[in-house]
Amino acid sequence: MDSLPLTKPDWIRARLPGGEAWKKVGAVLARRGLSTVCDEAHCPNKGECWGRGTATFMILGDLCTRACAFCAVATARKGRPLREEEGEEIAAAAAELGLDYVVLTSVDRDDLPDRGALHFARCIRAVKTAGRGAAVEALIPDYHGEELTAVIRAGPEVIAHNVETVRSLQAAVRDRRADFDKSLRTLREAAEAGLLTKSSILLGLGETEEEVLSAMDELRRAGTAILVLGQYLRPSPRHLPVVRYLSPEDFSRLGEAALSRGFSSVISSPLARTSYHAREKLVDARAGNAVSGGAGRGNPRRVETMGRPPGCKLIRLSAAVEGGIIRSLSIRGDFFASPEAAFDRVEARMAGTALAEAGRTFDSLLAEEGVQAFGVSGAGVAELLMAALGDNTPPGTS
């Protein structure tokens, strides 16, 4: 991997917060007294996720009994008293926000006899019995044995647990009570119980590429189905410094390496976090988009890419493409597009578009929906999409 200067590169730019959906998420959470990891961990994707009306709920209080050197969540020897009604409040918030996929995570609660596993299970059950049929992803501490069984019995669709970094950096990056083998144990036990499992690695903490590949191999051997690779960003001067910023090309290469190891779904991009586009990752994994699940094999191929194609500012593009047809498209970045709801409709209406028509269709939908757009164009979107799919002939640009 090439080394890069340690000033924050321009591809680490998050979408600015704002918009009606963003305000609604904030209002619902505040009214119901709920915490999110989006806030507590200073997630760079808050503008985007909340702008799309989604968030990741953080349960068991806002004080963590562990003190990992990369994490912004506040720490204490003893956590907050549990809120009995927390699960019901989350279920009600999810209903208000119209969520059909709910991600729950928590702080570590080493101060509780069951480390919070029973409360975690209660919250999952509350969401699952609230009547909306929402799927639940549980991003859990390193539970194992009876703790993990309690959570699994509550019926989540996905169990996520992060190894956070490569084996050699565990002691420097994570709390002394966490380690790679304990995390693998959680993932292995969940996979052996038949659950779809997911884990994340933060990059840029000083790991080598070989160590990342080796961590992928170990995760696969533990049955992990979904992998997330993202850039570590220093939350404050009290936290570990960034050793290097990986380029978008580094992320593409590592993402391909992960797919070739058999993960069902991989998201590898600088701002990727465990719960980023979580619903789409479940859809991918269920469709079995492993290894070469490309357009020609009947499964949608998902691509995540970013770049500055001609006529565009820096854009980040996620798409699913099947048999030469776009199934879904999401575009984020530095560009200006207004009104935002109409731009969201353009993205939604791109589903069903032939790749060969992507550029022309995008431009005509912008016009139809009355979107004022600067710094993004059909030609640029088509070119970036084709480059990510491995075809350098930009369609619909002539």
Instruction: Give residues in contact with ligand SF4 (CB under 6 A).
Output: 37-38, 43, 45-46, 49, 54-56, 273, 275-276
CB of 102 to ligand SF4, least distance (A): 11
Neighbours of 120 (CB within 10 A): 28
CB of 124 to ligand SF4, least distance (A): 17
CB of 378 to ligand SF4, least distance (A): 28
Residue 293 or 333: the one with the smaller Cβ distance to ligand SF4 is 333
Residue 388 corresponds to which tokens in the numbers above? Answer: 């990510």
Separation CA 96–CA 24 (nearest Å): 9
* Cβ(333)–Cβ(300) below 8 Å: no
CB of 154 to ligand SF4, least distance (A): 21
Residue 37 or 173: the one with the smaller Cβ distance to ligand SF4 is 37
Contacts of 325 (CB under 8 A, 6+ apart): 352, 353, 354, 355
Residue 37 or 326: the one with the smaller Cβ distance to ligand SF4 is 37
Separation CA 261–CA 266 (nearest Å): 11
Residue 42 or 313: the one with the smaller Cβ distance to ligand SF4 is 42
* Cβ(219)–Cβ(187) below 8 Å: yes
CB of 145 to ligand SF4, least distance (A): 28
Residue 200 or 377: the one with the smaller Cβ distance to ligand SF4 is 200
CB of 372 to ligand SF4, least distance (A): 26
Residue 101 or 362: the one with the smaller Cβ distance to ligand SF4 is 101
Beta-bridge mates of residue 35: 58
Residue 97 or 257: the one with the smaller Cβ distance to ligand SF4 is 97
Residue 278 or 321: the one with the smaller Cβ distance to ligand SF4 is 278
Residue 124 corresponds to which tokens in the numbers above? Answer: 């999952």
Look at residue 98 and give its three-state secondary structure. coil
Residue 168 corresponds to which tokens in the numbers above? Answer: 């050699």
Q: Name the residue among 60, 61, 81, 65 with its Cα closest to residue 177.
A: 65
CB of 278 to ligand SF4, least distance (A): 7
Q: Please give, one letter per residue, the 3-state secondary structure of 314-365.
A: CEEEEEEEECCEEEEEEEEECCEEECHHHHHHHHHHCCCCEHHHHHHHHHHH
Separation CA 267–CA 274 (nearest Å): 9
Separation CA 27–CA 285 (nearest Å): 33
CB of 33 to ligand SF4, least distance (A): 18
CB of 196 to ligand SF4, least distance (A): 18
**C-alpha separations of 290 from 80, 284, 325 in Å:** 41, 9, 19
Q: In what order do the strands lie in the sheet with 301-307?
A: 301-307, 315-322, 325-333
Separation CA 123–CA 221 (nearest Å): 30
Residue 37 or 387: the one with the smaller Cβ distance to ligand SF4 is 37
Residue 167 or 234: the one with the smaller Cβ distance to ligand SF4 is 234
Q: How far is CA 202 from the centre of its chain?
A: 12
CB of 47 to ligand SF4, least distance (A): 8
* Cβ(134)–Cβ(100) below 8 Å: yes
